[in-house]
Structure 1
Amino acid sequence: MTLLRMAAFLILFLAAPALAVAQENDPVPSKCLAIAQALPSVMLASFTPAGSTAATDEVTITYAGHSTYVIETPKGVRIATDYSGIYGRDPLPRVVTMNKAHRTHFTPNPDPGIEHVLPGWNPEGDGPARHALVVDDVYVRNVPTDIRRFGAMEKDGNSIFIFEVADLCIGHLGHLHHDLTDAHYAAIGRLDILMVPVDGGMTQSLVNMSQIAERLYSSIVLPMHRHSTPIGEFLAMMGEDFATDFRPERSFTVSLRTLPRRPTILILDGV
């Protein structure tokens, strides 16, 4: 563990009581939020609360296609990210998140059997989307970002969705079109698992995306939205701090206790 990451761990540990007090008025207290306003360039270390029983619960993650990953919680809640109605629909998810950069990231007619449809933008057009949803054992929240549409930037048109389950913090960047500010990183917090687009230009360049992924420094990085970009280009930009793991399967299971000790880029079948 580097001195920087060790310092981040100690700060998170010492600041945990203050963080709990600060979150008393939040809709749902987050276990993943960062103490980052005063530490804009810190790499956050994972932190497991003492006595946690959820840390051994397993989450299953499946690459369904394009930017859709399916997350299945220990209590059986099924979530599909950037849901277009094409990937991850069978069996039907209980929760779907969507972004509107392209039709391949949302559907205007979601199946009425889906219990919770969470758009990453505000359909009413009055400010950003705000989600703080608890479904059984998972808490879903969002961090609004902007998108590029018709040559101009549209404020709050995209969301980074965060899924907090089994003491894991799982983040999906959506169709991210710009660099993240210190305020974004603070709102995101710690991410144990990061889903990142690697198309090389439709979202952002591989240079920009690799810099974002490096700063978030997640234990597992899951590429998505690749199109024709050679995966090796993204891997090369991530450098030697990250291991690489190619899997012949589309799914894997993970718990907080089984996260890799070395940050790992995990490439599932189909990516």
Structure 2
Amino acid sequence: MIITWQGHSCFKLQDKQGSDGITVVTDPFNKEIGLKVPNFEADIVTISHNHDDHSNVNSLRGKAFIVDCPGEYDFKDVLIEGIDSFHDDKEGAERGKNTIYRFEIDDISVSHLGDLGHALDSTQLEKLAGTDILLIPVGGTYTLDAKKAV
């Protein structure tokens, strides 16, 4: 698997076949972030929450399978589980909901926490058990700070 950080909360995950295989993109951002907007083909796109800096699917090429809510999905042999969470530590009262995504690609489990704003509860921890690679947001204003992330 190839994992490439695109900036902000956006990652490009490619299966072992690389550019000839499946490409998953998390939280594609818009130009207001100040970074080069991702512009490549994607098979699967996940959106942790519907803010403009996490949901710019129009920048990507191809007819992607879009996942933007909790649930279980199986697309092109990629298993995806969306897990309910919040964008703040006040049960969503300030910034709303967030979806954590767990992917099974090439027998590797990758979890992307999106813009998680609180410590994980026991149910979330249980669903993330066995994760091989954890992509954690750390910033402190709109996400966890470094202390809470650990």
| TM-score between the two structures when normalised by the length of structure 1 | 0.46
Aligned-partner SS, 1:197:
coil
2:119 paired with 1:119: no
Matched residue, 1:126: none
2:77 paired with 1:137: yes
Aligned-partner SS, 2:110:
strand
CA contact (8 A) 1:69 1:88 kept: no
Provide the C-alpha distance between the structure 2 equivalents of 1:154 and 1:84, rounded to a whole number of angstroms.
Answer: 17
Matched residue, 2:9: 67
Unpaired runs of 5+ in structure 2?
A: 32-36
CA contact (8 A) 1:73 1:137 kept: no
Displacement after TM superposition at 1:117 (Å):
0.8
Matched residue, 2:34: none
Q: 2:39 is matched by which residue type in structure 1?
A: R
CA contact (8 A) 1:64 1:70 kept: yes
Q: Deviations over 1:147-203 (max 9, x none)?
A: 249x82566x21110110121110101000111111110122211101111212321
Displacement after TM superposition at 1:100 (Å):
2.5
Between 1 and 2, higher relative CO (CA 8 Å, sep ≥ 6) is seen in 1
Q: Given the alignment, which residue of 74, 78, 81 partners 2:26?
A: 81
2:102 paired with 1:152: no
Provide the C-alpha distance between the structure 1 equivalents of 2:56 and 2:119, rounded to a whole number of angstroms.
Answer: 26
Matched residue, 1:96: 45
CA contact (8 A) 2:38 2:59 kept: no
Provide the C-alpha distance between the structure 2 equivalents of 1:85 and 1:154, rounded to a whole number of angstroms.
Answer: 19
Provide the C-alpha distance between the structure 1 equivalents of 2:2 and 2:138, rounded to a whole number of angstroms.
Answer: 22
| TM-score between the two structures when normalised by the length of structure 2 | 0.80
Displacement after TM superposition at 1:107 (Å):
2.7
Q: 1:105 is matched by which residue type in structure 2?
A: H
Provide the C-alpha distance between the structure 2 equivalents of 1:112 and 1:61, rounded to a whole number of angstroms.
Answer: 18
Displacement after TM superposition at 1:64 (Å):
1.1
Provide the C-alpha distance between the structure 1 equivalents of 2:59 and 2:66, rounded to a whole number of angstroms.
Answer: 8
Provide the C-alpha distance between the structure 2 equivalents of 1:107 and 1:136, rounded to a whole number of angstroms.
Answer: 22
Provide the C-alpha distance between the structure 2 equivalents of 1:165 and 1:111, rounded to a whole number of angstroms.
Answer: 21
Q: 2:149 is matched by which residue type in structure 1?
A: M
Matched residue, 1:183: 123
Aligned-partner SS, 1:83:
coil
Matched residue, 1:106: 55
Aligned-partner SS, 1:62:
strand
Unpaired runs of 5+ in structure 1?
A: 1-58, 121-128, 211-271
Of Structure 1 and Structure 2, the greater strand share is in: 2
* Higher Rg of the two aligned structures: 1
CA contact (8 A) 1:145 1:160 kept: yes
Provide the C-alpha distance between the structure 2 equivalents of 1:181 and 1:67, rounded to a whole number of angstroms.
Answer: 22
Matched residue, 1:226: none
Of Structure 1 and Structure 2, the greater helix share is in: 1
Percent identical: 26
Note closer, same or farther for the CA distance 1:85–1:202 as it changes in structure 2 (3 Å cut): closer
Displacement after TM superposition at 1:112 (Å):
7.7
Provide the C-alpha distance between the structure 2 equivalents of 1:88 and 1:190, rounded to a whole number of angstroms.
Answer: 30
CA contact (8 A) 1:137 1:166 kept: no
Aligned residues: CA RMSD: 2.5
Matched residue, 2:114: 174
